[in-house]
């Protein structure tokens, strides 16, 4: 049964323990260390049933049996510059330990760190960290033998009478939306199981936790730039696009099914297809046929979307969140012709994996369709 809940709930997410062999689900729930600033929650127990029938009774079904349990939940949060590191890492899947000689998160100034999240090829625990991965990112002493990439976590929700604990939750999709009404982050999770008798995240332990206090992302913080993809010419002021609404969506297409080892619960979720990155913008009015021309020509573009706070982590170092599409294409450039107002553009971009690095973009470990960069005061690597 689906249920939608309102603001004021005590809820949080914590990445689960590192493992050295493919493991599903986690051996135990992770203990939350902070709360999330929840706006809304939509929950679904994911219970699938089948009716029994037989020849002994012709008046109706003989009973009902549960055939699978695959709980899901969708949480909408007011987007903040800090405190969402593990969600970003679990959604995209990767953050390098080093890029060149730079240790990540990169120290920019005293107490100021740069995180760079990239899409990974897989999100399940078959993916292994390796000392030789991507050009010797790790020293041998920095990894356990066989250490896996863990991109799942425990989501816990204090319902007053009990804590609902979603074990081994993975990010099915993530949507960052900005409009004059505000900026929100919606995270769709799929989980192994739901427990209402938690001994790890109890009402008493969750009562001691606090939500993040970093500044919220504001629509006025956002600058969008979209231009022709180039390995030599970076985006500039001529590529700035003024929009009335903006949406970034990442879809991971995670699939799983019950099996002999997991019983009614799903096996480990894995991607059923390549990740999809979609950006939508609404422009206030149609002033040129530029977007229709780019759509018609399948022009290779690059884009960055940068939120910069007026508040600073330290002197001269503002909070920032940047979303990078190293290569993208227009897949829709429709005109809104409703009513008596002038035509307005609604543009949809899809991110693709680039074959070359785009000029002016940060150095990445992989050429992926989406990277998210955060400048905050958090020094910990969210996957290690």
DSSP string, 95-147: --SEETTEESSEEEETTEEEEEEEE-S--STT-B--TTTTTT-S-GGGS-TTP
DSSP 341: S
In tens digits, what is the pLDDT along the chain, a chain of 384 residues? 344 455 568 999 999 999 999 999 999 999 999 999 999 999 998 787 777 776 677 777 777 777 778 999 999 999 999 999 999 999 999 999 988 889 999 999 999 999 999 999 999 999 888 766 654 577 778 888 889 999 999 999 999 899 999 999 999 999 999 999 999 999 999 999 999 998 899 999 999 999 888 999 999 999 999 999 999 999 999 999 999 999 999 999 999 988 777 777 888 999 999 999 999 999 988 888 999 999 999 999 999 999 999 999 999 999 999 999 999 999 999 887 766 567 788 999 999 999 999 999 999 988 999 999 999 999 999 999
Mode of pairing for the β-strands spanning 222-228 and 254-255: unpaired
What per-residue confidence (pLDDT) applies to 69?
83
Q: Identify the pLDDT of residue 178.
A: 97
Give, in order, the Cα–Cα distances in Å from 35 to each of 12, 83, 157: 4, 9, 10
**CA distances, 89 to each of 231, 266, 317, 363 (Å):** 27, 22, 23, 18
- Phi first, then psi: what are they for 237, rounded to 5°? -65, -25
- The string of DSSP letters for 288-324 reads -SHHHHHHHHT--EEEEEEEEEEEEEETTEEEEEEEE
* Spatial contact of 166 and 71, defined as CB atoms under 8 Å apart: yes
Delimit the domains of the chain by residue range. 2-47+65-376
Single pTM value for the model: 0.92
pLDDT at 140: 74
pLDDT for 3? 47
Q: Report the distance separating Cα 331 and Cα 296, nearest Å.
A: 9
């Amino acid at each position: 049964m689906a249920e939608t809940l309102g603001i004021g709930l005590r809820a949080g997410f914590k990445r689960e323990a590192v493992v050295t062999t493919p493991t599903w689900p986690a051996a135990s729930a992770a203990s939350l260390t902070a709360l999330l600033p929840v706006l809304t929650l939509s929950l679904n127990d994911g219970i699938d049933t089948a009716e029994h029938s037989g020849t002994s009774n012709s008046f109706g079904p003989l009973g009902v049996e549960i055939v699978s349990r695959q709980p899901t939940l969708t949480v909408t949060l007011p987007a903040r510059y800090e405190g969402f590191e593990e969600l970003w890492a679990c959604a995209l899947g990767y953050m390098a330990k080093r890029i060149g000689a730079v240790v990540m998160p990169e120290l920019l100034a005293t107490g100021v760190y740069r995180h760079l999240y990239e899409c990974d090829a897989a999100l399940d625990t078959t993916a292994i960290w390796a000392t030789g991965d991507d050009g010797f990112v790790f020293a041998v002493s920095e990894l356990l033998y066989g250490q896996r990439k863990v991109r799942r976590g425990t989501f816990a929700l204090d319902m007053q009478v009990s804590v609902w604990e979603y074990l081994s939750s993975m990010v099915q999709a993530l949507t960052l939306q900005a409009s004059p009404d505000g900026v929100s982050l919606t995270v769709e999770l799929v989980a192994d199981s739901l427990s209402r008798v938690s001994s790890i995240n109890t009402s008493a332990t969750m009562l001691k936790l606090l939500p993040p206090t970093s500044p919220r992302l504001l629509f006025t913080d956002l600058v969008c730039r979209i231009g022709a993809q180039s390995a030599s010419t970076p985006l500039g002021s001529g590529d700035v696009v003024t929009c009335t609404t903006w949406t970034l969506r990442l879809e991971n297409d995670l699939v799983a099914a019950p099996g002999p080892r997991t019983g009614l619960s799903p096996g480990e979720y894995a991607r059923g297809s390549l990740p999809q990155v979609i950006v939508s913008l609404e422009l206030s009015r149609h002033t040129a046929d530029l977007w229709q021309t780019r759509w018609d020509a399948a022009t290779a573009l690059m884009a960055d979307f940068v939120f910069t706070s007026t508040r600073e982590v330290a002197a001269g170092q503002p909070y920032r969140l940047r979303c990078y599409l190293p290569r993208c294409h227009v897949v829709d450039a429709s005109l809104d012709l409703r009513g008596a107002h002038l035509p307005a553009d609604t543009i949809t971009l899809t991110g693709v994996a680039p074959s070359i690095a785009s000029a002016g973009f940060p150095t990445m470990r992989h050429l992926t369709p989406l990277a998210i960069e955060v400048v905050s005061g958090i020094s910990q690597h969210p996957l290690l």
